[in-house]
Structure 1
Amino acid sequence: MASTIRIVSRSSPMALAQVERVRGLLHREHPGLVTQVVPVTTSGDRWQGALSQLGGKGAFTKEVDAALLSGEADLAVHCLKDMPGDRPLPEGTTVAAYLERDDIRDAVVLPEGHTPLTLDELPHGAKVGTSSVRRVAQLADSHPWLECTPIRGNANSRLAKLDAGEFDALILAVSGLHRIGLEERISQILDVDAMCPPIGAGILALQCRVDDTDTIDAIGPLNHVPTWREAHAERMMLHALQGHCNSPIAGYAACAADGSLSLRAKVFTPDGKKVVNAHEWAGALTPDELGMATALALLRQGARELIDQIPH
């Protein structure tokens, strides 16, 4: 068993809070274990333009992967939703554990001190800050009177821009606000039927080198099997669709108390005018097979055409 584990992560307040959660769990399982934090600033953190110009979500993981593969670190903590789904993990690495899933829903956040409002109550032309094509597509359909305005940066910097008057509202992940201790900023929590979440929402993935058996053994007890099943179903579906960073794809798997697993998924046009959706149950299928079956159901309805017509 490893005596020291070096944990690499993005250097944002939320990412470091996530690392502290992992460190706490590791110390509970292995009281004598020493953990060290190796923060990195990724190209995605530095860039303030469209992610597609940097090659998509890989901009948030490239430097983290490099630290892991070079031996500078032993373990990486990722938000699963930020890990590219259209290509495999870097050769020589694996996700060895998934923490128990947090809230998958999105939230409406208003400027500090503002009277709580719902999306329906926001005035015509209100500027809603989000750079998520998934959120933009759904809001364009459900709330066409709102103006979705691009915003980049970590949650803390986005909230600062909101409070400075640059936006009338933000849409942020409920789980992220909880992780940085700012859940009191939530004005409304959006039901998944109103705002379908991103693939991997609320899941922290622990990545390490495939040959590092000491680290794999150490983090093994942290793996939450129902979340592992949900993650595999969702990620296989995303991989089979071969979407890119401009593809509005949403969905979530749910593992019921009796062990039954289902997967809902949607593919939108950027303006939200067209949507294909599927809801499949695993039955005897493995999570990966469920993900593939759900992708095929979407493709039969024209998901490939919707994805391919979006520039990237």
Structure 2
Amino acid sequence: MAEPLRIVTRSSPMALAQVERVRAELSVLHPGIRTEVVPVTTSGDRWTGDLAALGGKGAFTKEVDAALLAGEADLAVHCLKDVPADRPLPAGTVFAAHLARDDIRDALVHPRGLTLDELPAGTRIGTSSVRRIAQLAASHPHLVCVPMRGNANSRLAKLDAGEADALLLAVSGLERIGLADRISEVLDVAAMCPPIGAGILVLQCREDDTATVDTVTGLNDPRTWREAAAERMFLHVLQGHCNAPIAGYARAEDDGRLSMRGRVFSPDGKRVLDAHEWAGALSPEDLGTSTALALKRQGAQELIDGIAH
């Protein structure tokens, strides 16, 4: 009997739910395939302070990458938004598939079902996301953001314990853990621009492991891949750090056209730089570059460089 395909992932409930999606899709693509989950706890999961002290988003991926490179697993499952775009993937690894994209929007969770516009002044919003904090400061300056990190389950527990009055969480994350019924309001992307890579799960393999690459490549969604390629190049060109409020998303239309909207904010929300570009004959990567350069012409680089990190 063939050895099981070993899948490494973070050990949070959401990460494990994401792996179950991968296992289910693999079983449809390859009936009878055997898989095994290799959970790891990352430094980002253990740390409760400012992520900048750990070097940013890479804190959620380096232990997973290490297990993959050490041969302790064959396949890694990542939320693309957690994979740094300002540096290459670890040498010897490759993204073999981008799964069909989930909802990219943010959701408000309020115990009494209020919407964002209905929240009274002084309402405490639990979030440590600089992207969300900046956008709330711009649109709802009467609300108060209180630091709150941890996986979605732990943040919901903190909300229930009274550590905040409401939360902002990803719609896709709440759906993945079966808690979409906690959502009070789904925020339009115009009201809360999503993070780069929102709603995308990627499958990472060792580049020389052609057997695993061939096994999972059939799960790749071309439309999602195009959007991801544009978004990650956008973030790479901006060279944004973990304290820089950067947001954006690409959208592939049914007729094949591809567009991208990108935004950069000052932490206090008083400056909002906005760009919206269409690919035309451009590749997805060139579209991401073009959108980033449009923001740089508005002063994005100076804004980003001026934020302490």
Q: Give the TM interval when normalised to the shorter protein.
A: over 0.9
Cα distance in 2, alignment partners of residues 161 and 3 from structure 1: 41
Deviations 1:230-261 (A, max 9, x none): 00000000001000000100000000000000
Amino acid at match of 1:146: L
Structural RMSD (CA):
0.8
Cα distance in 2, alignment partners of residues 50 and 66 from structure 1: 23
Could you say which residue in structure 2 is the equivalent of 1:266? 263
Could you say which residue in structure 1 is the equivalent of 2:189? 192
Amino acid at match of 2:292: A
| Deviation beyond 6 Å, 4+ runs, structure 1 | none
Amino acid at match of 1:85: A
Could you say which residue in structure 2 is the equivalent of 1:71? 71
Cα distance in 1, alignment partners of residues 189 and 100 from structure 2: 19
Could you tell me how far 1:3 is from its partner in structure 2?
5.2
Could you say which residue in structure 2 is the equivalent of 1:121? 118
The alignment status of 1:53 with 2:53, answered yes or no, reads: yes
Q: 2:275 aligns with which of 256, 274, 278?
A: 278
- Map 1:1-312 → 2, pairs under 5 A: 4-111=4-111, 114=112, 116-312=113-309
Cα distance in 1, alignment partners of residues 77 and 87 from structure 2: 19
TM-score in terms of structure 1 length: 0.98
Flag structure 2 segments of 5+ consecutive residues without an equivalent.
none
Could you tell me how far 1:275 is from its partner in structure 2?
1.4
Q: How many residues align?
A: 308
Cα distance in 1, alignment partners of residues 15 and 260 from structure 2: 27
Could you tell me how far 1:31 is from its partner in structure 2?
1.0
Cα distance in 2, alignment partners of residues 82 and 300 from structure 1: 27
Could you tell me how far 1:4 is from its partner in structure 2?
2.5
Cα distance in 2, alignment partners of residues 292 and 141 from structure 1: 26
Deviations 1:257-292 (A, max 9, x none): 000000000001001101111111111111111111
Amino acid at match of 2:201: L
Cα distance in 2, alignment partners of residues 283 and 209 from structure 1: 34
Flag structure 1 segments of 5+ consecutive residues without an equivalent.
none
The residue matched to 1:220 in structure 2 has which SS?
helix
Could you tell me how far 1:161 is from its partner in structure 2?
0.4
Cα distance in 2, alignment partners of residues 7 and 283 from structure 1: 38
Identical-pair percentage? 73
TM-score in terms of structure 2 length: 0.99
1:3–1:32 CA contact under 8 A, matched in 2:
no
Amino acid at match of 1:135: R
Deviations 1:199-255 (A, max 9, x none): 000000111111011111011110000000000000000001000000100000000
